[in-house]
């Protein structure tokens, strides 16, 4: 039934109500790909991998169904809320939330509140004071290594759930976040401060900006990263200064945060990053340029795409251009898809999501037949997204 809802062919007459059983259609011509069949195969693959023995694959499948936006997956996602892996539960809950099902929010809130009862209590912290610095979770005196590791893992999941609440927003989310301001885990407290800053609570924003002036480069980098995570357009002068920081880690995070600003004025600062000697800084700057609209940013992206010296930089430029509907050369994307490196293939798949031509489908289909399972799931999700409308036609 799930396959029907995604890929039922369009009815012959728009004025007639859709039939419960789709009318038969003529077989595709020999020289034309059967897009509907490809979409059904990809969707079947996604459904099957919700039960994969690999938790990372199950996580990818749970995430995919939320992005697809079809409520036919609600029952499947609800079952995944009982997964033994907490990250899979979180991703399934987030997908339910995206689909408008209240069970998603309840599960996310439950994960946030699932602190270990024996954890050592923390002294009340000044709101937002630790948000620019993270460390390990608080653990109780007397615990063995196994218990400490379990607590750290759980608190990382809780922090990830807190981050989702910052994206969801609303009164209920804030009520949950208020309870974690003085959480025993500093990781959770830091995530809470960032989430509340994202939601516009000024008292949590100022410490993040102040962190950009810290003597410790790790704190400066964490402050810039936190500002990027909030999505806010604050601290421009401070970010401009750290965009030329001696530490490449700080420059990377500064570039990300500068991408929050829609004003083309920041292109002057990002332009220096595009020419940075450090490849990671350069690639991150190009990615940030892709988030800023306008002809000037398009020009910068085209120049970065045409410079084939560093493929990682060119791929980021291609992604930025594809997202704004520009025509791009897919040769480098095809090369990336053919590499057996998941991280590179993930980038290529993200680009193909934005490509409107049938070439994207042609490049995605082989990934379902070979390669790492997580790559297969992402490629399948991208195919379903492209083919789920208009009876499976792109």
Query: Tens digits of per-residue pLDDT, 20-49?
Result: 233 334 444 545 667 888 889 999 999 999
Average pLDDT over residues 107-114: 96
Average pLDDT over residues 248-260: 98
Mean pLDDT of the chain: 86
Q: Return the pLDDT at 133.
A: 45
Q: Return the pLDDT at 93.
A: 98
Query: Tens digits of per-residue pLDDT, 197-219?
Result: 999 999 999 999 999 999 999 99
Burial of 365 (0-12, 13-18, 19+ CB in 10 A): middle
Q: Return the pLDDT at 257.
A: 98
Query: Tens digits of per-residue pLDDT, 317-339?
Result: 999 999 999 999 899 999 999 99
* Residue 12 pLDDT > 50: no
Average pLDDT over residues 233-239: 97
pLDDT-based confidence at 307, cuts 50/70/90?
Answer: confident
Q: Return the pLDDT at 369.
A: 87
pLDDT-based confidence at 114, cuts 50/70/90?
Answer: confident
How many angstroms separate the CA atoms of 190 and 62, rounded?
Answer: 26
* Residue 143 pLDDT > 90: no
Of the candidate ranges 112-116, 170-174, 382-386, the one whose mean pLDDT is the lowest: 112-116
Q: Return the pLDDT at 62.
A: 98
pLDDT-based confidence at 123, cuts 50/70/90?
Answer: very low
Average pLDDT over residues 94-105: 98
Query: Tens digits of per-residue pLDDT, 261-288?
Result: 998 889 999 999 999 999 999 999 999 9
Cα dihedral across residues 63, 66, 70, 74: positive or negative = positive
pLDDT-based confidence at 292, cuts 50/70/90?
Answer: very high
How many angstroms separate the CA atoms of 58 and 225, rounded?
Answer: 28
The vertex-348 CA angle with 76 and 98, nearest 5°, equals 30
Q: Return the pLDDT at 134.
A: 42
Q: In this prediction, what percent of the chain has a pLDDT beyond 90?
A: 73
Q: Return the pLDDT at 25.
A: 43
Tokens of 134: 């993270």
pLDDT-based confidence at 60, cuts 50/70/90?
Answer: very high
Q: Return the pLDDT at 356.
A: 87
Q: Return the pLDDT at 308.
A: 82
Q: Return the pLDDT at 140.
A: 53
How many angstroms separate the CA atoms of 80 and 203, rounded?
Answer: 37
How many angstroms separate the CA atoms of 169 and 105, rounded?
Answer: 11
* Residue 122 pLDDT > 90: no
Q: Return the pLDDT at 206.
A: 96
């Amino acid at each position: 039934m799930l396959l029907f809802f995604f890929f039922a062919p369009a009815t012959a007459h728009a004025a007639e109500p859709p039939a419960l059983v789709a009318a038969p259609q003529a077989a595709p011509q020999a020289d034309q790909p059967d897009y509907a069949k490809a979409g059904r195969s990809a969707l079947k693959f996604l459904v099957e991998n919700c039960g994969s023995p690999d938790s990372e694959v199950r996580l990818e499948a749970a995430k995919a169904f939320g992005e697809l936006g079809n409520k036919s997956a609600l029952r499947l996602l609800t079952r995944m809320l009982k997964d033994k892996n907490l990250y899979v539960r979180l991703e399934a809950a987030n997908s339910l939330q995206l689909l408008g099902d209240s069970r998603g929010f309840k599960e996310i809130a439950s994960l946030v509140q699932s602190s270990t009862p024996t954890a050592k209590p923390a002294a009340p912290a000044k709101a937002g004071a630790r948000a620019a610095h993270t460390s390990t979770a608080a653990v109780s005196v007397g615990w063995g290594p196994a218990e400490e590791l379990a607590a750290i893992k759980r608190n990382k999941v809780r922090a990830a759930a807190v981050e989702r609440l910052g994206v969801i927003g609303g009164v209920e989310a804030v009520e949950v976040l208020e309870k974690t301001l003085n959480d025993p885990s500093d990781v959770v407290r830091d995530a809470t401060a960032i989430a509340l800053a994202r939601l516009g609570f000024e008292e949590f924003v100022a410490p993040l900006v102040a962190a950009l002036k810290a003597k410790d480069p790790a704190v400066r980098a964490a402050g810039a990263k936190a500002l990027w995570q909030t999505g806010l357009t604050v601290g421009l002068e401070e970010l401009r200064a750290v965009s030329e920081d001696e530490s490449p880690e700080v420059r990377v995070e500064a570039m990300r945060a500068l991408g929050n600003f829609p004003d083309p004025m920041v292109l002057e600062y990002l332009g220096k990053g595009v020419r940075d000697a450090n490849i990671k800084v350069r690639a991150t700057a190009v990615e940030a340029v892709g988030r800023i609209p306008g002809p000037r940013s398009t020009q910068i992206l085209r120049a970065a795409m045409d410079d084939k010296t560093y493929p990682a930089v060119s791929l980021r430029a291609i992604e930025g251009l594809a997202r704004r509907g520009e025509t791009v050369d897919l040769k480098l994307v095809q090369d990336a898809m053919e590499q057996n490196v998941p991280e590179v293939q993930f980038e290529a798949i993200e680009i193909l999501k934005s490509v409107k031509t049938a070439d994207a489908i042609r490049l995605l289909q082989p990934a379902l037949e070979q390669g790492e399972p997580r790559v297969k799931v992402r490629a399948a999700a991208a195919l379903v997204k492209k083919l789920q409308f208009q009876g499976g036609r792109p």
